[in-house]
A and B are shown apart, each in its own frame.
Chain A
Amino acid sequence: GDSVTQMEGPVTLSEEAFLTINCTYTATGYPSLFWYVQYPGEGLQLLLKATKADDKGSNKGFEATYRKETTSFHLEKGSVQVSDSAVYFCALRTNAGKSTFGDGTTLTVKP
């Protein structure tokens, strides 16, 4: 079945540091890939998405590129802020049905 594996946390960085959170997947067919963010006390929010190979999703300074050859969708940001502290989930969706999520990576950014 489909699965998503993401980098274990927690991750602690200083403000303005470079962020990478690794995500790899296993899926049948051609999935769409997503990163969701969950801020403390809030629900899941879509951060960015990519629907086909080599697409790059970007939002709020975050980027991820759909790499079919390595089945990866790593999340990056060049300079993190304290306000980026949250839990980040990688997910895939293979048709109009269910999404499969990773276990989440907790990011803490210190001033």
Chain B
Amino acid sequence: GAGVSQSPRYKVAKRGQDVALRCDPISGHVSLFWYQQALGQGPEFLTYFQNEAQLDKSGLPSDRFFAERPEGSVSTLKIQRTQQEDSAVYLCASSPPSYEQYFGPGTRLTVT
């Protein structure tokens, strides 16, 4: 079956631009996670949804980062006024009611 998909796969933004990254989870998965992976490091947690409810946003690095999942399916991570330190791979994962997370291929964001 279809896995987690993310779009775009690559995004180049000029400093100060806003970007929106999309995640399509596996159908029926109630939990959805966003992670940020800097080069040479492991993924760092950003935020977590259960259905449409955002249960944990403790990892969002600043108020420029915003995530939503209005209908409990597709999610969008928005970054306003991008900065160079936002350059990273943004990973989305979805999960059924167990502990196994399924990851998407990621969106590589480069801020110039």
List A residues at the B interface (Cβ < 8 Å): 4, 32, 36, 42-46, 49, 51, 89, 91, 93, 96-104
In Å, the complex CA distance between A5 and B105 comes to: 24
Interface string of B90-107 (1 = CB under 8 A from A): 010101010111111110
Q: On chain B, which size bracket covers the interface?
A: 20 to 34
Give the shortest distance, in Å, between B10 (CB) and chain A (any CB). Answer: 12
Chain B, 69-112, CB within 8 A of any chain A CB: 91, 93, 95, 97, 99-106
Partner of A44, one of B40, B41, B55, B91: B91
- Which residues does chain B contribute within 8 Å of A93, judged by CB atoms? 99, 101
Q: Complex Cα distance A101/B43, Å?
A: 6
Please give, as numbers and ranges, the residues of chain A lying within 8 Å of B100 by CB-CB distance.
46, 49
The residues of B with any CB-CB pair to A shorter than 8 Å are 31, 33, 35, 40-45, 48, 50, 55-56, 59, 91, 93, 95, 97, 99-106
CB distance from A102 to the nearest CB of B (A): 5
Known contacts A44-B43, A98-B33, A99-B43; can you find 4 more A-B pairs with CB under 8 A?
Answer: A93-B101, A103-B40, A103-B41, A104-B42
List of 4 A-B pairs having minimum Cβ-Cβ separation, nearest first? A101-B42, A98-B45, A44-B103, A43-B105
CA distance A93 to B95 in the complex (A): 12
Q: How far is A42 from B48 in the complex, measured between Cα atoms in Å?
A: 23
Q: What A residues does B43 contact at CB under 8 A?
A: 44, 89, 99, 101
| A44 vs B97: C-alpha distance when bound (angstroms) | 20
CA of A89 to CA of B91, assembled, Å: 14
